[in-house]
Structure 1
Amino acid sequence: MRKKIILCLQVFVLSVMLLSCINDDVTADMAVQPEFSCEVLDMGTVFTGLPSPVYAFKVYNRDKDGIVIGSIAFRDESVTGRFLLNVDGASGEVFENILIRGKDSIYVFVEAVLPPVGTPEPVRVSVPLDFMTNGVRSTVLLEASAQDVVHVESVTLDGVTEWDARYPYNIYGNVTVPEGSTLNIARGARLYFHAGAGLHVYGHLVVDGTSDAPVVMCGDRFGCVASSAVPYDVVPGQWRGIELSGASSDGNMNYTTVANTERGIVADGTSRLHLLNCRLRNSSSSVLSAVGADVTAVGCEFSGAPSGVVVLDGGHHLFNHCTIANDYIFAPVEEAMLILKAEHTEVSCANSIVYGLGALMSPLDISGRSVFFERCLLKANGIDDAGFSEILWGFDPRFDVSLEEYRFDYRLTSGSPAIGAGDASLSLPESSVDYYGLQRGAAPDLGAYVYRDTPQSN
């Protein structure tokens, strides 16, 4: 019992000592002002009529004494209801007498709900948020691009449906194209899918992108993942992806980016998929999976997946001037970049590159299979045989990739062995230009993209 009493006294004394270390003094010195983790909080693109993701910044008190922020409020009262705040755990639009102890900080969380702007082009919104401390005003500017969109809930599109490029589409739930129906997506269209949303095609999908007006299908998050520098445009698993199912389904997709998916594009049954200068990126499983379906891919990039970048199970497949690459950073890479499941899977691959994390192909031994690689750069070391002809074995293609900067650009850089290494006689006529509209010429580069000795941009 005596030991317990002594222990309690020790705990009490320690608690008093710790409390005595907290400085409750508050300064009214005008020179002592809060500091902010940013002067401008850029919330990126915000779809009008819908709540934005929540963004945050920190307010620091660098002084040894506490400070009281007399008020936190929007300078323009007309923004009431458009920007919602949470300051140090309390929600509201106006805050008074917020204490920040010495050498401490608080969080301010911001959510925007912006009204329609009435134009296809985004409208920049800039709102001052004022902090009054010891008679001095400090300001953090809240900025966003208000973008009107076409809101699409779960829907079945019967007959022929045209989606144009005037406004972006923000899609919740499943969009279904039934057998005998067609969805035409115009050049320059932008489709932003919410979590759990997807496109399921039993009929026909026609995507008519061009080099100067490509089509984008991706998740509907912008900016960076909270408290990190990871941009959402490289984050997989944000929406389900595209599925082609049934004997009469087919997809013809030109100059289209499909990114941030759970499953990429899945084609099954006896569906047919034709891809020209497309980019399938960042999936939490595979970016392309074909089960019994036929796939033709020309000038395409397939990149970023942990469970096989491209998975082919039966069917007839042609890859011409394609890049299959993997620098996946969100989970261990468990499978080869190219997986061939059924023995009767037929593949012809020419003027292409397969390089990155994971094994080259599974199975690597393709003896007796209808699988042919001609004039390709392949990650593995090997020798030519009946299935491999004029191969650049084990060379680094020198992609413009930087994991530290989250840049996954699979265009070639100076000194790449893939530059000018293609065989023009193997290039299909429709491969004459790449995704960026660059001509391949008489001595084409291997892979999806033409090397350009100038600063590159996406």
Structure 2
Amino acid sequence: MKKYLYTFLILAITILWSSCRKDFVTVPSSGQLQFSKDTVYLDTVFTNIGSSTYNLKVYNRSDDDIRIPTIQLGEGESSNYRLNVDGIAGKVFQDVELLANDSMFIFVETTLDINDFAGGNQFLYTDAIEFDTGNNQQKVELVTLVQDAVFLYPQQFDDGTVETLLLGVDDEGNETRIEGFFLEDSELTWTNEKPYVVYGYAAVGQNDVLTVEAGARVHFHADSGLIIGNMGSLQVNGVLSTTEDLEGEVIFEGDRLEPGFANVPGQWGTIWLTDGSTNNNINYATIKNASVGILTENSDGTTNPTLTLNNSKIYNSATIGLLARTGHIEANNSVIGSAGQASLYLNLGGEYTFRHCTFANYWTNSFRVAPTVLIDNFLEVGDGTVFTADLEQADFSNCIIDGSNSIELILQKVENDSSVLLNYNFRNCLIKFDDFNNRFLNDELYAFNNSAIFDEIELVINSNTIDYKDTANNEFFIGADSAAIGEGNTSNIPAVQSDLLGNPRTNPSDVGAYNFTTFDD
């Protein structure tokens, strides 16, 4: 028995000792490494802002444990790239071991200063990761576009605190503040010469006007956005583009430029048109990947709309695309696409006109309860208090209301108070409304046979009948089989003479923001 126990102990110690050995025999690399990619594109970065971390996988497909004599950046220690090879940071590495039929990760980052390069607002910076030297050398190229930008951010004080904006005071006298700053006079015109990168909330003060010129690109950092204050105004002067570069359009989005972030919702806050802001006009703009695309509150006390929205797109909003509380909006030829809750929420009454707009919510990031369009005349707060306001007007003409849910229009009014108005009209609209369980059969708010409220509308049961190009990418062009073709009427809205792409409207017109077009399946 002791003999067997002794033998077992010797065997166990030998196995344990062998598994902990680090001095396994290796042979030099022979230049037969394989890589997950030949070129690592770090995409576009703003000057002096660190890139995301990219990875390269290196494979040893041979049956030998190998030793790579050197792994280094081509420019060595002077390179603007940074490497992490199997958990060790640096730019030059010696005698890196890689087991047979195994692999390792190399992580790559960079931070670049446009001032280090000659000429222009952008520069293509390249280097390479070199494996070994001489005849056995292999390379993986590194490519980054560094772009200059105008950076706007709150002041940082000597005590480490950051400038904030006062949003209000609660019932107990406590201030509500948000990290942000007021734009100076010299910062109130945003051009297309360089992109703008905003940290915190940039605020437009009383009697100030922020003008955003055609072709401007505005990038917001996380938890950042734009606030238009009392008696302030926003003028977004985008124009129709003639190429896929959207050279005339104004784009508001996050500051992560990698392709993987191109359609990630909730990267920044919102464009907030506060109570008292006035004469806000947005033309040919795309507002994407925000938490709330646009938030507008109350009217400015005049007969003019607080917000006029023309030929614009809002999509990939984490919660709501366009949220209006007792707002006054006029919108034409605009698309409000996917959002985590509602694409359009007209809350607590207001006055609204929408002509030739497409509201389509095909959100796929989580389960969505809210409809594409939600309209009400009340607001209930946490303590049970209910605020009410008249919905004086909500007119929809030649619009599409659609999405992935069975019912995409919900109308709600305050209970037990018929004196609070809920006025709405839908003319020549396609509305996704599949009430398969007759939930709304006897609800007076959905009297679809009442032509005074619902005139020439079509209730859509199957969204495929609208025939979009690509709902996953918020491309709501309508195709040859669309039920929206020829169902509009432009005689009562002569101001909308062309669609979002500049194509002339006919009468009868196509419903929604786009005329029918042909596109590849």
Please indicate, yes or no, whether the TM-score normalized by the shorter chain is above 0.5: yes
Task: Determine helix, strand or coil for the equivalent of 1:441.
Answer: coil
- Aligned partners of 2:375, 2:15: CA distance in 1, in Å? 65
- Aligned partners of 1:149, 1:158: CA distance in 2, in Å? 17
The residue aligned with 1:261 is 290
The residue aligned with 1:128 is 128
Cα drift, residue 190 of structure 1:
0.4
- Aligned partners of 1:441, 1:18: CA distance in 2, in Å? 82
The residue aligned with 1:227 is none
**Which piece of structure 1 moves more, 444-453 or 293-302?**
444-453
Matches within 5 A, 1:293-442: 293-313=327-347, 314-342=349-377, 344-345=390-391, 346-358=393-405, 359-363=407-411, 369-381=422-434, 383-385=448-450, 386-394=452-460, 395-396=462-463, 397-401=466-470, 403=472, 407-429=473-495, 431-442=496-507
- Structure-2 change in CA distance of 1:384 and 1:107 (3 Å): farther
**Which piece of structure 1 moves more, 57-66 or 316-325?**
57-66
The residue aligned with 2:518 is 453
Q: Amino acid of the residue matched to residue 320 of structure 1?
A: R
Cα drift, residue 53 of structure 1:
1.7
Matches within 5 A, 1:13-412: 16=16, 19=19, 24-28=24-28, 30=30, 33-77=32-76, 80-116=78-114, 117=117, 121-132=121-132, 136-154=136-154, 155-159=181-185, 161-202=188-229, 203-212=232-241, 213-224=248-259, 231-271=260-300, 272-313=306-347, 314-342=349-377, 344-345=390-391, 346-358=393-405, 359-363=407-411, 369-381=422-434, 383-385=448-450, 386-394=452-460, 395-396=462-463, 397-401=466-470, 403=472, 407-412=473-478
Cα drift, residue 454 of structure 1:
5.0
Task: Determine helix, strand or coil for the equivalent of 2:262.
Answer: helix
- Structure-2 change in CA distance of 1:100 and 1:85 (3 Å): same
Greater relative contact order (CA < 8 Å, ≥ 6 in sequence): 1
- Structure-2 change in CA distance of 1:13 and 1:297 (3 Å): farther
**Conservation of the 8 A alpha-carbon contact between 1:71 and 1:132:** yes
- Aligned partners of 2:29, 2:57: CA distance in 1, in Å? 21
**Conservation of the 8 A alpha-carbon contact between 1:51 and 1:113:** yes
- Structure-2 change in CA distance of 1:393 and 1:41 (3 Å): same
- Aligned partners of 1:52, 1:261: CA distance in 2, in Å? 21
- Aligned partners of 1:283, 1:310: CA distance in 2, in Å? 11
**Conservation of the 8 A alpha-carbon contact between 2:83 and 2:106:** yes
**Conservation of the 8 A alpha-carbon contact between 2:28 and 2:69:** no
**Conservation of the 8 A alpha-carbon contact between 1:119 and 1:148:** no
Q: Amino acid of the residue matched to residue 394 of structure 2?
A: V
- Structure-2 change in CA distance of 1:147 and 1:216 (3 Å): same
**Conservation of the 8 A alpha-carbon contact between 1:333 and 1:357:** no
- Taking only the aligned residue pairs, the percentage that are identical comes to 28
Q: Amino acid of the residue matched to residue 336 of structure 1?
A: P
**Which piece of structure 1 moves more, 141-150 or 151-160?**
151-160
Task: Determine helix, strand or coil for the equivalent of 1:234.
Answer: coil
**Conservation of the 8 A alpha-carbon contact between 2:469 and 2:519:** no
TM-score (norm 1): 0.87
- Aligned partners of 1:118, 1:417: CA distance in 2, in Å? 55
Q: Amino acid of the residue matched to residue 426 of structure 2?
A: F
Structure 1, unaligned runs of 5 or more: 225-230
State the Cα deviation string for residues 66-94 of structure 1 (Å, max 9, x = none).
222221222234x8252111111111111
**Conservation of the 8 A alpha-carbon contact between 1:320 and 1:428:** no
Aligned length: 439
**Conservation of the 8 A alpha-carbon contact between 2:214 and 2:239:** yes
TM-score (norm 2): 0.77
**Conservation of the 8 A alpha-carbon contact between 2:252 and 2:288:** yes
- Aligned partners of 2:492, 2:83: CA distance in 1, in Å? 59
**Conservation of the 8 A alpha-carbon contact between 2:376 and 2:413:** no
Flag the structure with larger Rg.
Answer: 2
**Conservation of the 8 A alpha-carbon contact between 1:81 and 1:113:** no
- Aligned partners of 2:134, 2:97: CA distance in 1, in Å? 12
**Conservation of the 8 A alpha-carbon contact between 1:25 and 1:65:** no
**Which piece of structure 1 moves more, 417-426 or 272-281?**
417-426
Q: Amino acid of the residue matched to residue 312 of structure 1?
A: L
**Which piece of structure 1 moves more, 171-180 or 19-28?**
19-28
- Aligned partners of 1:190, 1:283: CA distance in 2, in Å? 18
State the Cα deviation string for residues 105-164 of structure 1 (Å, max 9, x = none).
211111121221465553322322211179511111111222111111133125582111
State the Cα deviation string for residues 278-298 of structure 1 (Å, max 9, x = none).
111111110110011111111
Structure 2, unaligned runs of 5 or more: 155-180, 242-247, 301-305, 379-389, 436-447
**Conservation of the 8 A alpha-carbon contact between 2:488 and 2:507:** no
- Aligned partners of 1:182, 1:259: CA distance in 2, in Å? 23
- Aligned partners of 1:55, 1:433: CA distance in 2, in Å? 44
- Structure-2 change in CA distance of 1:90 and 1:84 (3 Å): same
- Aligned partners of 2:434, 2:23: CA distance in 1, in Å? 66
- Structure-2 change in CA distance of 1:135 and 1:269 (3 Å): same
Q: Amino acid of the residue matched to residue 347 of structure 1?
A: A
